[in-house]
Structures are given as C-alpha cells and as structure tokens.
A and B are shown apart, each in its own frame.
Chain A
Amino acid sequence: MKTKTTFTEIDSLEKELAGIAPLVRQGFLKAGGPSAEIDEAIRAEAARHAGGQRNRLAWPLYRTLAAVAAFALLLGGSIQLHISRQDSLNHPSTPRTSASETALSAKSAENGPGLANLLLEIQGLNEDGFFRPEEDESLWL
C-alpha cells in the first residue's frame, strides 16, 4: 500500500504548508522583484527574437513569389518561341540572293549574246551593222 502512504503524506505535508507558505511568499514579495533594467532587457530580447521569427515566417512568401515570377518568364519565353516558329512555317520568306549567286549571273551575262555580238563586230563579221538606214550611209562612207 505504498501509494496510499504517499498520498496520506502529501495531504499532511500540504496541511502543514498551508500555515507557513503565505508567510514565506509574503517575505519574498516584500523583498521585491527584479529591477526595471532586467525587465526591459528581457522585453527587448523577446521583441528582437519575435521580429526574427516574423521575418523567417515571411521568407517562404517571397521565395514563392520569386518562383512564380521565374515560371511566368519561362512560360512567356516558350510561348513566344512557339509563335515565331509557327509563323515561319506558315509564311516562308523569299530566298535571299547571295553574293555568289550575283557573281554567277554576271558571268552568265558575259557569256550571253551581248558578248558574242561584240566579238563579231571586232572581227568585222557582225552583219547587223551592214544594214544601216540611208541617212546614216553618207557619214559611214
């Protein structure tokens, strides 16, 4: 019956305490509490720590906002790329003339009838020049 003994003991101790405890409390109460500086230091530390906690709790919000902004930017870029590709597929642009192509066309002009006529004229074999109108003939002679 150990438990019963303990409870009986607690009861009797509490009864004895009831007489002496108020006197002890009164004595310490009259001795006073901690100084105002100590109270202020504790209050300041609590405020500083609570401020830090609030900032820590606010961090995830900023990080979420940054992540959403980055995602929106990526999404916008992808959409833009897709649109421009679609556009180029629907309206193919005219092929550009390159410098080599220009040189090639110049070469073909040199090989054309213009050059043949020139060569024939130099050799005096160009028959086109034999048929002149009458008014030009006196000057020719």
Chain B
Amino acid sequence: MKETMPDAETSDADLLLCFSQGNSAAMDQLVGRYRQALFSWLLGMTGNRADAEDLYQDVWFRVIRHAGRFNDVSFRAWLWKIARNLLIDFRRKRKPDVSLDAVEDEDDVPLIDQLAARDRGPAKAVELDDMTKRVMHAVATLPEVQREVFLMRVQADLSFSEIAETLDIPLNTALGRMHDAMAKLKKLLAEEART
C-alpha cells in the first residue's frame, strides 16, 4: 500500500481514520497541527520542560495506539482529555508539584526564564519581551484549576463547553474558573505595572 500525504484541509477525524488504515503520514500531519499547543499546555501545567516532553510523548503514543477507538465529536477535546488524564497519573506518581515560576536549586532562576534559555544555549537565549514575561509570571501564579481552564482556552483553543466536557465539570463551573483566572491576572498585571 503506497502512502499518500493527506491534504492540509483534511479534518482531524479523517486524518485519524487514514492513520487507522495504515497511513503514517496522516499521523505526522495530526501531530504537526497540535505540536506547539499541546506542548505549551503541558509546559504550563508541569512548569518543567523534561516532564512536559515525557508527557507530550506519552500523549501521542496513546493517541497512536488508540486511534481506532476515537469516537468523540472533537479530536481536539479527546486529545486534551488524554493529556489531562496522563497529567493526573503523572502527578499521582510524583507528588511534589513544581509551578512555572518555582525556583530550582542550582541557579535560583525561575523556570519561566529557563524555558526561554534551554536548548538554545546562553548566547542564543531568546529574550521574552517585558510584557510577555509579566503575563507568563502571572499565569504561573494562578491556582492549578484556574490555570488549567485558562490554558485550555488560550493554548488548546477549546470552547468553554469542550473544556467543561474535558474536565467533567458543569459549564458554569468552567466559566467561573475562567472568570476568576482573568480577574487574578488583571490584578497581578496591574500590580506589576505599578512596581
């Protein structure tokens, strides 16, 4: 069977179907679509690049192995459901939680700063502009339940009803968490701007 590259407009569900029929190029395309968003979400939730990479790989391995079982309405929601379940398992195994702006022992550098510098070397470290840096710090200080909803909306681009379904919570709870997250971010950013 010769592999044909699915075109860019093929839906996620069709790509998954193509992959289930033996077309690995379809999975490459699907991974490409969610590469940055999923990794960013995991990075935001774990605050640690190595953990985010491990989880990112596990999520895709699970998608690959269970592609034939996909029967949800939205692949995006299914993907984040898998990611969240793996994150919960990961947290159960490794209790201490590290937040995005937590400080590591060696250099006393917040993880948010290390993220930019890692893999590029100190000389090539990408400078985050001041505003982005402040927003990232503020996001990192959000309580986990709020950060989860916030990043699902911002990074995963899930609708509020998809977020509610993924987290198995009522829509109003999801909206409430988002509302609280936004209020806290605004407050934090206003405080930082004053200082």
Q: Whose C-beta in chain B lies nearest to the C-beta of A52? A: B22
Q: In the complex, which residues 27-76 of chain B have their Cβ closer than 8 Å to any Cβ of chain A?
A: 27-28, 31, 35-36, 39-40, 43-44, 52-53, 56-57, 60-61, 64-65, 67
Name which of A29, A34, A51, A58 has the most chain B CB atoms within 10 A of its CB.
Answer: A34
Q: Is B39 within 8 A of A27, CB to CB?
A: no
A10 touches B160 (CB 8 A): yes
Q: Who on chain B is nearest to A28 by CB?
A: B40
What CA separation (Å) do A54 and B26 show in the bound complex?
14
A33 to B37, CA, bound (A): 9
A20 to B179: give the CA distance in the assembly, Å: 13
Which of B27, B35, B64, B155 sits near A24, CB closer than 8 Å? B155
Interface size on A, residues (CB 8 A): 36
B side interface size, CB within 8 A: 52
**A32 contacts B172, CB within 8 Å?**
no
Which of B78-86, B89-97, B101-109, B112-120 is the interface stretch?
A: B112-120
Please state if B22 and A54 are interface contacts (CB–CB under 8 Å): yes
Main SS of chain B's interface residues?
helix
**Is B123 positioned at the interface, with any CB of A under 8 Å from its CB?**
no
Contact (A24, B24) CB under 8 Å given A42-B57, A42-B61, A45-B64? no
Q: Tell me if B21 and A26 are in contact (CB < 8 A).
A: no
Q: Could you say which of A33, A45, A46 contacts B35, with CB atoms under 8 Å apart?
A: A33
How many angstroms from the CA of A95 to the CA of B63 in the assembled complex? 78
- Complex contact A13–B133 (CB within 8 A): no
A17-B182, A31-B115 known; A46+B139 contact, CB < 8 A: no
A9 and B175 CA atoms in complex are apart in Å by 8
Identify B153's interface contact among A17, A45, A46, A51, CB under 8 A.
A17
B169 within 8 A of A: no
Which chain B residues border A39 with CB–CB below 8 Å? 31, 35
Instruction: Determine if B154 and A17 form an interchain contact, defined as CB atoms under 8 angstroms apart.
Output: yes
Choose one: A17, A21, A24, A53; the contact of B20 (CB below 8 Å). Answer: A53
| A-chain residues with CB within 8 Å of residue B28 when the two chains form the complex | 43, 46
- A30 near B132 with CB under 8 A, answer yes
Most buried by A among B24, B31, B153: B24
A139, B13: Cα distance in complex, Å = 126
| Contact (A46, B64) CB under 8 Å given A23-B132, A32-B115 | yes
Q: Which residue of A lies closest to B50 (CB)?
A: A35
A29 to B22, CA, bound (A): 32
Contacts of B118 in A (CB 8 A): 32
Are B182 and A28 closer than 8 Å at their CB atoms? Answer: no
Does A50 interact with chain B (Cβ within 8 Å)?
yes
Enumerate 9 A-B pairs (CB-CB under 8 Å) in ascending A order: A21-B153, A24-B139, A24-B151, A25-B40, A28-B44, A35-B119, A42-B31, A43-B24, A45-B64
